[in-house]
Chains A and B, each alone.
Chain A
Amino acid sequence: MQLFADLLDALSYQPARNGKLRLIEDYLRHAPDPDRGYALAALCGELELPSLKPAALRDMTIARVDPELFGWSYDYVGDLAETIALIWPVTDRATHVPPRLSDVVERLRLAGRAEAMILMSDWLDGLDATGRWALLKLAAGALRVGVSARLAKTALSAFGTVGLEDIEEQWPQHEPPYTELIRWVAGGEKPAARNTLGFRPLMLSHPIEESDLANLTPHDFCAEWKWDGIRVQIAASDGQVRLYSRAGEDISGAFPDLIEHVDFEAVLDGELLVARRTDNAVEVASFNDLQQRLNRKKPNPALMLSNPAHMRLYDALIIGNDDLRPLPLRERRQHLEAWYAQRPRLRFDLSPLIQFANWSELVRLRADARASGIEGLMLKRWESPYIAGRVKGHWFKWKRDALTIDAVLMYAQRGHGKRSSFYSDFTFGCWRPIVDEHGNPGRELVPVGKAYSGFTDEELRRLDRWVRNNTVDRFGPVRVLSPALVAEFEFDSVHESTRHKSGLALRFPRFHRIRWDKPANEADEVETLKKLIS
């Protein structure tokens, strides 16, 4: 448990991706089995432990320390788990051995709430402050140390000799503590395949731009819309179904309304969307609507009714017992169409092919595509087999042009890691009409988004200097800027949002150009942004 606690502690302060990878890799090298497998499962958010009520943890602590001192301490620290970890009285360590992570997981998993509290109290006695904090985080379920499942698996790959895609393919066939899997990654024998429900790593595409098209021959390619959902794979066999995200995480539990319509045996590739059926058409909803579903591990019936899940199929990896992956896309598509034509399914449809004779026709079609749910175009070579990973020269994504707006820089904060001495995180705003206390009409700036990329290192240095010379106020680490610098920001789309003062939220905002020349009063109005809502 101590090694795992030290890992969580270091991760919680480590802002950089590479730093996190190094820490996890180092842990995997030093931690024994089966602890390290449970640690990976915890980082991937896969451990389901009985959740302990904060009130119960608090009572357990007050039984040991003066309630008044506890109250002052909690007020000061502000976080319950951290307060308990720090204030827990140190007992004679000789009689309390620190638990192993595997003990904690295995025993807590089987324990009821009351028994879990007894176990916790005993373990807290054996650990130091960092260990107690880690134990309480583990029991609380969410580690919140800024590590995704994919990052944890990437670290596992760097620790061993097996590629990330191979790990992701194997992963769903195993369960915590992943002992066999880790042994294989560390150089041992590959585990035998167990079932056909496993995840097959996806074939990915490369970005291209219009200027790249000259090097490609139009009739070698099929074109499809690039749908604005999340890429998924569905695997169904022997009456069982799994829905996987692009990184191989099993997300079946979040989409029962899609799963219940599966009555086939196949492994299919497609886009998960929220889509509503009207008579004969399927209307794709905005990514925002899908986001609401993605936020819920177990959706309620009302949400499933208002935001129904839908899968738009691109490709077939396996149908029945036939592995289609070695076949060219042209043939896989024929198999997919024939299979679908036999019996269309309510929550599934095929991603239609776009007919085009030459590139200029496609350029025109793309320029006109502003419909909700379309993110651009996909170009796929008809001859491409289905190959895991980002293979060169087969599939291309051609995103639609970003939207842009001129906005005024309002607040700045320093970045992290390499950028910790630079003001690199900006909040920007647009104008909105107001009436002042004397009844005179005027304008005010309201924040519309935050951006921290899209500039060069040279521009960052200049921005940083500008921030230091144009600060009018400070709130903690935040500098309030003189409303004088305009930048052109790019973003993929705008949505309505109740969370922001402007009532809007931008998707992927980033700097496009800094307009050192443009006066602030010529920046755009909030109204202009509203017209771009998709």
Chain B
Amino acid sequence: MALHPQHWLKPMPGGLYCEPGGFFIDPSRPVDRAIVTHGHGDHARAGHGKVAATAETLAIMGVRYGEGFARETQSLSYGERLGMGDVTIMLEPAGHILGSAQVVLEHGGCRAVVSGDYKRRFDPTCPPFTPVKCDVFITEATFGLPVFHHPPDKGEIGKVLHARELFPDRSMLVGVYALGKCQRVIALLRRAGYDKPIYLHGALQALTQLYETQGVRLGPLASVAGMVPAQLKSEIVLCPPSAIGEVWSRRMGDPVPAVASGWMRIRARARQARAELPLIISDHCDWDELLQTVRDVDAPEVWVTHGREEALIHAIQQTGRRARALSLVGYEDEE
């Protein structure tokens, strides 16, 4: 008889724990053995004993925390099988950021997939999400309300290029999350034909460099340090979202503040972020993509983690599947 994952995959205060395998997935506090889905700070923390992840994720953790971030590391390629205790695990692309992975777990004749953070649309900086058929699918719900429909990226990038024409005396200051969003926005600008140097805030440089060494081509990049406003007219400058209203931004003169995030769909959030140019570019699924993914993996049961769970659970139940909330603490809405 198959052993349902509810008996061997449990939410604990430190994160999701797989008992027969003896490991946590994305634990929020130091543990002995951890599998890390991707490099964002709320999923990948320093101080674990042994960490298994993709080589790219391990490299990202190395840049963020220094080489001694774990006692031991094990890099796994997508599709490679690894036995841990009585459990077989495998990583599959999640399409979220470089190195991001879903964790496929097989035990007692059942298969569960922990998707981590994921998205379905094309991203030039990482391989696309691969749907894996399973008995239980564990999904995030960051944008788990039907008001979230991310428009095509091309139109959003077009807004920046149009603003350059409209305000040739101002720089375009685009707030982006340092890992993933930054490099994706650069790659999308390149695909839209923008080939001038793109200027970077200091906090974005190390990870962007890492992307390049991992083979993601991003075109000419330059540091914004030491530049004066006159040199930055009509140039595109990327910085962390919080830097837009900070003293640092004064070196831009009178920039057009833009913020690239799925939250920009909501006007109050865009105003809060002081964006003159809200760019709806997300590394998470929108509502339709969440539901499409549930259909694609065709799991009879779905567990919903961080985000707006109740609406997604309601909608999944309408399709005749079981769905419930899995309370995991410590993950942020940041993107």
Chain A residues with CB under 8 Å of chain B are 12-15, 19, 22-23, 26, 65-66, 68-69, 72-73, 76-79, 82-83, 86-87, 90, 128-129, 414, 416-418, 420-421, 477
Contact = CB atoms under 8 A, between A and B. Distances in A.
Nearest to B266: A77
A115 B250 CA distance: 53
A424 to B, nearest CB: 12
A78 B147 CA distance: 12
A477 B268 CA distance: 13
The A contact surface, by secondary structure, is helix
A72 B149 CA distance: 16
Contact of B147 (A13, A23, A77): A77
B190 interface: no
B250 A129 contact: no
A249 B311 CA distance: 48
Contacts of B274: 414, 416, 420
A2 to B, nearest CB: 11
A72 B310 contact: yes
26 contacts: A12-B267, A13-B271, A13-B275, A13-B276, A13-B277, A13-B278, A14-B276, A19-B167, A26-B166, A65-B146, A66-B318, A69-B314, A73-B146, A73-B311, A76-B266, A77-B147, A78-B268, A83-B147, A86-B147, A86-B148, A87-B147, A128-B151, A418-B253, A420-B245, A421-B245, A421-B249
Contact of A73 (B147, B248, B250): B147
A418 B268 contact: no
Given A69-B145, A78-B268, A421 B247 contact: yes
Contacts of B188: none
Interface of B: 145-149, 151, 166-167, 244-250, 253-254, 257, 265-268, 270-272, 274-278, 308, 310-311, 314-315, 318
Contacts of B276: 13-15, 19
A416 B70 CA distance: 44
Nearest to A83: B147
B156 to A, nearest CB: 11
A15 B271 CA distance: 10
Given A19-B276, A72-B308, A86-B147, A417 B254 contact: yes
Given A13-B276, A15-B276, A72-B311, A86 B167 contact: no
A129 B167 contact: no
Contact of B267 (A19, A66, A69, A82): A82
A72 B308 CA distance: 9
Contact of A22 (B167, B244, B254, B315): B167
Contact of A90 (B149, B271, B310, B315): B149
A461 to B, nearest CB: 9
A73 B267 contact: no
A428 B13 CA distance: 47
Given A77-B266, A418-B254, A69 B146 contact: yes
Contact of A69 (B271, B272, B275, B311): B311
A10 B183 CA distance: 26
Contacts of B147: 73, 76-77, 83, 86-87
B272 to A, nearest CB: 8
- 10 interchain residue pairs of minimum CB distance: A86-B147, A418-B254, A73-B147, A72-B311, A421-B249, A13-B276, A87-B146, A69-B146, A73-B145, A87-B147
A82 B276 CA distance: 18
B149 A76 contact: no
Contacts of A14: 276
B278 A66 contact: no
A421 B145 contact: no
A86 B267 CA distance: 11
Contacts of B267: 12, 79, 82
A15 B274 CA distance: 10
Contact of A68 (B244, B245, B314): B314
A86 B270 CA distance: 15
Given A15-B276, A414-B274, A477-B272, 18 more contacts: A13-B270, A22-B166, A66-B146, A73-B311, A76-B145, A77-B266, A79-B267, A82-B267, A86-B147, A86-B148, A86-B265, A87-B146, A90-B149, A129-B151, A420-B244, A420-B257, A420-B274, A421-B246
B307 to A, nearest CB: 11
A73 B166 CA distance: 34
Nearest to A86: B147
Contacts of A414: 245, 274
Contacts of A12: 267
A65 B167 CA distance: 40
A55 to B, nearest CB: 20
Contacts of A19: 167, 276
Nearest to B244: A420
A234 B148 CA distance: 52
A277 B278 CA distance: 55
Nearest to B270: A13
A14 B159 CA distance: 14
A65 B149 CA distance: 15
A129 B266 contact: no
Nearest to A130: B151
Contacts of A72: 145, 308, 310-311
A76 B250 CA distance: 34
Nearest to B275: A13
Contact of B249 (A22, A420, A477): A420
A76 B308 contact: yes
Contacts of B278: 13
A83 B254 CA distance: 33
Contacts of B311: 68-69, 72-73
A398 B245 CA distance: 40
Interface centre among B254, B271, B272, B310 (most CB of A within 10 A): B254
A299 B249 CA distance: 48
